[in-house]
Structure 1
Amino acid sequence: MAGIVLALSVGGLGACSAPVQERYFMLSPDEVNAPSEATTGAAVMGIGPIAIPSHLDRTQLVTRSSDNRLIINQFDRWAEPLDENIQRVLIENLDRRLHPQRIETFPWNSRDGVVWQVVVDFGQFERQPDGSVGMAARWKIVNFASGEIVVSERFSDTIIPRDTTTEATVAAMSILLGRLSDSISAAYRR
């Protein structure tokens, strides 16, 4: 009798608890339009490669609980690989700011006519222990034909999300990508 009561109790508990649903997130381009001095029809740009740290190269969103501890958010996931999502957003942002003749995604071939290559290496791009979202990246603009690095800079910025939700964190990350795009665009126009 005790075994039957236990089996019914466990079965009842399982029926009462709903499974946790995975949630999927994507970074988004901003709505910034090119300033009046933007060069319409500029040379063909190539975006990539985009490098992210190995700890961010996963389907789950990652946050920091301390400088040395990460939290893998099991049910909050990227809808596509993070490096691909970053590349797609940078392409859209830079296209709106610079209006190049065309933008190619890495890898491309010699027939694509890429003149300027934008390479970005992220060192950090996640929510921090204090609740802010931080980005640290090194980026460069390369003359693709000669291999000469024309501009090489570091970008570092933080933003406080509007609240503590994952959706607000991802929105803040998108804003930081917009600011990175501003930095690249300003250097490209120099």
Structure 2
Amino acid sequence: MHICTGLFLLVIAPLLAACSTAPQDQYYLLSSTINPSASAAGQGAVIGIGPVTIPSHLDRSMIVSRSSSNRLEVLSGHRWGEPLDENINRILIENFDHTGKASRLETFPWTSRDDVDLQIVVDIDRFERQADGNVLLAARWKLIAFESGDIKAADRYEKTLAPQGTDVESTVSAMSDLLADFSIEIANDIP
């Protein structure tokens, strides 16, 4: 009886392994949620965005959330479609473009030939779903007159937003909305 069971397992195990497939990774990107301004193009300063820094615990391909104040969860199977700092920088550029505050936008690093008037430097401290389900964006930013190096404005941003659902896509959507609000707050300080 034991020999039959062993033979059955030897035959059936490879078939079961062939039928089971690992779940596919899902990829996410932040998006701009600001509607384009009706302002005429070509008005305003040339604005350079960057550098944008993120904490090293967020600098990974998998999406990270917090399960408590001191514990992170790496969401296996849920990945960023591009490095998070590059995605944030790209969306900040798109958001500022939609505010109509700049005649042109440049991405850090730029050259002296780009004639940047103002530079926006962003240091993100926290940007993940919290244990309570809300998404938190905590960041510091500076608006710098590029030629002189004078700081024209600086502030700290910290807001939370409740996602529409409990899934990862809802979390990423809430993150996009927070980036939009953050961009508008900075844009309000641009002359």
TM range (shorter): over 0.9
Aligned-partner Cα distance in 2 for 1:24–1:42: 36
Alignment of 1:101-180 (within 5 A): 101-180=103-182
SS of the equivalent of 2:63 reads strand
Aligned-partner Cα distance in 2 for 1:34–1:185: 12
SS of the equivalent of 2:96 reads helix
- For 1:58, the aligned partner's letter is R
1:140-188 deviation line (CA, Å, top 9, x unaligned): 1001111111111000001111111111000000000000011101111
Aligned-partner Cα distance in 2 for 1:159–1:101: 31
Alignment of 1:23-34 (within 5 A): 23-34=26-37
- For 1:137, the aligned partner's letter is A
Report which of the two structures shows the higher radius of gyration computed on alpha carbons: 2
Structure 1 counterpart of 2:188:
186
Task: Decide whether the 8 Å contact of 1:140 with 1:151 is kept in 2.
Answer: yes
Task: Decide whether the 8 Å contact of 1:39 with 1:99 is kept in 2.
Answer: no
- For 1:59, the aligned partner's letter is S
- For 2:181, the aligned partner's letter is R
Aligned-partner Cα distance in 1 for 2:134–2:17: 37
Aligned-partner Cα distance in 1 for 2:146–2:55: 25
Aligned-partner Cα distance in 2 for 1:85–1:26: 7
Aligned-partner Cα distance in 2 for 1:18–1:160: 34
Counting aligned pairs with the same residue, the percent is 48
Deviation of 1:39 (Å): 8.9
How many matched pairs?
Answer: 188
| Residue range with higher mean Cα deviation, 98-107 or 6-15 | 6-15
Aligned-partner Cα distance in 2 for 1:75–1:144: 42
Structure 2 counterpart of 1:7:
10
Task: Decide whether the 8 Å contact of 2:41 with 2:103 is kept in 1.
Answer: no
RMSD: 1.7
Aligned-partner Cα distance in 2 for 1:98–1:153: 21
Task: Decide whether the 8 Å contact of 2:42 with 2:104 is kept in 1.
Answer: no
Structure 1 counterpart of 2:61:
59
Aligned-partner Cα distance in 1 for 2:70–2:181: 27
Q: TM (normalized to structure 1)?
A: 0.93
Structure 2 counterpart of 1:21:
24
